[in-house]
Copies of this chain bind each other. A is one copy, B any other.
Amino acid sequence: MKSATVEAAFSRDAFHRGRFWLIQPLHSGHRAGMDAMMLAAAVPSSFSGRLADFGAGAGAAGLAVAARCSAAEVVLVENAPQMLECAQKTLAEAGNAHLAKRACVLDADISATGNARKAAGLADNSFDYVVMNPPFNQPDDRATPDSLKRSAHVAHDGLLESWLRSAAAVVRPRGGISIIVRPQALPELLSALRGRFGGAQILPIHPRADRPAIRIIVRAIRGSRAALNLCPPLILHDNGSDRFSERADAINNGLATLFGD
């Protein structure tokens, strides 16, 4: 992506080789990148309908879906004030005019339950798909040497359980979900999917062919009872190279999908 400073606090970044742009905080908050592009690449190209991007940030994953799936209507769900402002600026950006009519921002707390969730605009069975890139520990936390504390945090903070509960409420039966998490979250994620989403496809993402996975993408179907599948991994870099592999680059630019559909 290319960056250009539009004012002191924001940058304007091209994604999908300039097919859409994000207005992002320049020095703080979550800046979108490969994770959001891979998450969006898990949605089938044939998808049509209403899609929620939970924790949308500036709108990276949602807009990447809208850019590739011409029949998708995306709702960017966010409630951090700075990121909401970015998402609004993103939709107002001239370079996104071709997508803006199929995208909107919803200020809502994804962890809300029952009537509070409905009142926030997240009605039951009102979406065909949810994508989510749940926040995890910040880089500062990752630097801590206390691996016990870190894994405990991942396992017990209940965020995935809370977000999956909301996703199961708002997605219609047989609707879909795509999630990107660190591999360490797999036990909590599978536990949170149980009884809600089935037919899970797990796709590991490795930095190189001989290194452990750094992310997993999981795709699943609301109400399905089908068994899960563990898919061939995506390798980000060919051995001996620091550039993205051809496949990773195509996915990053909206030219290929993760599951080939």
A residues with CB within 8 A of B: 147-148, 150-152, 154, 183-184, 186-187, 190-191, 193-194, 198, 202, 204, 206, 209-213, 216, 225-233
CB <8 Å contact, B151 and A227: yes
* Count of this chain's copies in the oligomeric assembly: 2
CB <8 Å contact, A187 and B228: yes
**Chain B neighbourhood of A186, CB < 8 A:** 186, 190, 202, 228, 230
**Chain B neighbourhood of A191, CB < 8 A:** 187, 190-191
CB <8 Å contact, B151 and A226: yes
CB <8 Å contact, B184 and A228: yes
CB <8 Å contact, B150 and A183: no
Q: Which of B193, B210, B213, B231 contacts A212 (CB 8 A)?
A: B231
CB <8 Å contact, B183 and A228: yes
Tell me how far the C-beta of A251 lies from the nearest C-beta in chain B, rounded to whole angstroms. 16
CB <8 Å contact, B183 and A187: no
A-side binding surface: helix, strand, loop or mixed? mixed
Nearest to A150 among chain B residues (CB) is B227
Tell me how far the C-beta of A147 lies from the nearest C-beta in chain B, rounded to whole angstroms. 5
A187 to B212 Cα, complex, angstroms? 20
In the complex, given contacts A186-B202, A187-B228, A210-B232, what are 20 additional A-B residue pairs having Cβ atoms less than 8 angstroms apart?
Answer: A148-B226, A152-B225, A154-B227, A184-B227, A184-B228, A187-B191, A187-B193, A187-B194, A190-B190, A190-B191, A191-B191, A204-B233, A206-B232, A209-B232, A212-B229, A212-B230, A212-B232, A213-B230, A213-B231, A232-B233
Tell me how far the C-beta of A113 lies from the nearest C-beta in chain B, rounded to whole angstroms. 24
**Chain B neighbourhood of A230, CB < 8 A:** 183, 186, 204, 212-213, 216
A198 to B138 Cα, complex, angstroms? 23
A210 to B204 Cα, complex, angstroms? 13
Nearest to A151 among chain B residues (CB) is B227
CB <8 Å contact, B233 and A233: yes
Tell me how far the C-beta of A101 lies from the nearest C-beta in chain B, rounded to whole angstroms. 38
